[in-house]
Amino acid sequence: MLLAFSFYSCGEKYPEHPWEWDQDEEEPNPDITKQGWTVVSDLGKLPDYIQVYKSPEKLVGKQAIAYIAVANMSKAKFEVLGDIAYSQTANGYGGTTVNTPSGFYDSSKASIVVNGGLFFLSDGFYYSQNLVVRDGQMLAPNQNYYSKDWVTLWYPTLGAFCQMKDGTFKTTWTYYTYDGVNYAYPSPADNDINKTPLAVPSSSFPAGAQVLEATQAIGGVTVLLRGGEIKNTYVEEMLDISGASNQPRTAIGSTADKKMILFVCEGRNMTAGVAGLTTGDVANVMKSLGCTEALNLDGGGSSCMLVNGNETIKGSDGKQRKVLTAVGLK
């Protein structure tokens, strides 16, 4: 069963200009607006603890069209959306249905919706390649194998963004072992497609393993930031997300002052001259916005952000594609 990587997409109606902040109101994120991000204020009313911004014309020296949603997590709710379960018939974690981001908005009414993790379709079943935890229950683990030829197998630890039992947020690398334990690691297994595969991850490898205890979590590929340090571990995580090339991207992160930031950027020249960003670029942008933890989610054609159900970037398919999971903020 060959792996297919889901670079899906967003949209048919797109904003043509940035929106101005109501100057009679206090700007809640001055460090962000000082960097040239412009408040978006005409995509419907948002709770006072969620703000949306459009990027300046350039990010990390590249032409950019990007949006962020910034939420005060003392009031906002982080949700992982999607009909995910284990199927004995399919012998895998995932589901039989996928939705456009608009479909996820219709069912959840989340103020902000972005696409979630990677997945692939085989024999009518959508297999989740990434971790999904909802209300303390693991609905799907991160994919725990990789191969190009089905002769040589690697066992990568993939990234995850987690809300822990104490309410804090952190990124980590996880591995679901064959005896049914989902471990989290402070560093990834140092795999590389150009090197001999490393041992299967376990309670003792990589070092520092702990059983993951998260209340909500979404997996992706490439931990961008952990503990305030740029990581950008797409090589070690192995799944092909074209990390070194310019692409549309989606990311999720958190700041030291308990805010969550959802990020999306346009790419593939849907707007002339806007090619997108590398994962390294996104890591730098997220750090500049104050994030100490950040994870790259599915990207390319999958990248989409809805604000009150309204689209932001131009998706690279020119319309919304269906995805298996999404992230919502209420």
Q: What is the pLDDT of residue 26?
A: 72
Nearest partner of 200 among 232, 219, 178, judged by Cα: 178
DSSP state of 216: E
Which of 296, 4, 301 shows the shortest CA–CA distance to 125?
4
3-state DSSP helix/strand/coil % of the chain, to nearest 5: 10, 35, 55
Strand partners, 118: none
CA distance 183 to 210: 5
Task: Show the low-confidence residues of the chain (pLDDT under 70).
Answer: 1-25
Q: How many CB atoms lie within 10 A of CB 80?
A: 23
pLDDT, mean over the chain: 93
**Among positive and negative, which fits the CA dihedral 21, 25, 28, 34?**
positive
Q: Cα–chain-centroid distance for residue 154?
A: 23
Question: pTM of the full predicted structure?
Answer: 0.92
In this predicted structure, what is the pLDDT of residue 25? 59
Q: Say if CB 324 and CB 131 are below 8 A apart.
A: no
Q: How far apart are CA 330 and CA 321, in angstroms?
A: 23
